[in-house]
Amino acid sequence: MNKILSGILAGLVLGGAVTWTVVRRPQAEDEKEQTKEHNAPSRVIHTNGQSFVKLDKESQQHAGLKVAELEAATLKPEVRSYGHVLDPAPLAALVAEIATARAALEASTKEFQRWKLLHSQGQNVSARALEAA
């Protein structure tokens, strides 16, 4: 019984030591990297109330920054004017009504042409119904 308890205790101690080593090592490496980053010279320069960022060529290329000379440009003069913006909803409703009316006109025209054809062939459409349409 003592051998079993000793084995379990030794296993727990060994497992704890391995777990502590595995978990502790990445944290230590992260701390070293953070310390290294904090000890690096700052790229931000403050002069006369302005802040500048100084980047070397490699950092500029990595960020995709390009430096170019400024070119002269002419701007068109601006004209100031005032206006009033209207709500487009009533106009959109009227456009929809026009589309509906055109569709109804097309359907009615086809129906009238059919009645006219039936009346000319002597079918079941009276002259009175044709005139009312």
Chain segment 78-91, per-residue pLDDT in tens: 888 899 888 999 99
- pLDDT at position 104, please? 96
Tell me the one-letter amino acid at 86.
Answer: L
Report pTM: 0.33
Lowest mean pLDDT among 1-10, 29-38, 103-112: 29-38
Q: Beta partners for 45? A: 52
* Higher per-residue confidence, 3 vs 88: 88
Which letter, b or e, does each residue of 41-59 get, where b requires 16 or more Cβ atoms within 10 Å of its Cβ? Answer: eeeeeeeeeeeeeeeeeee
Q: Is the pLDDT of residue 65 over 80?
A: yes
Amino acid 95: pLDDT: 95
State yes or no: pLDDT of 45 exceeds 60.
yes
Beta strands in 1-133 (DSSP E): 44-47, 50-53
Cβ(89)–Cβ(95) under 8 Å?
no
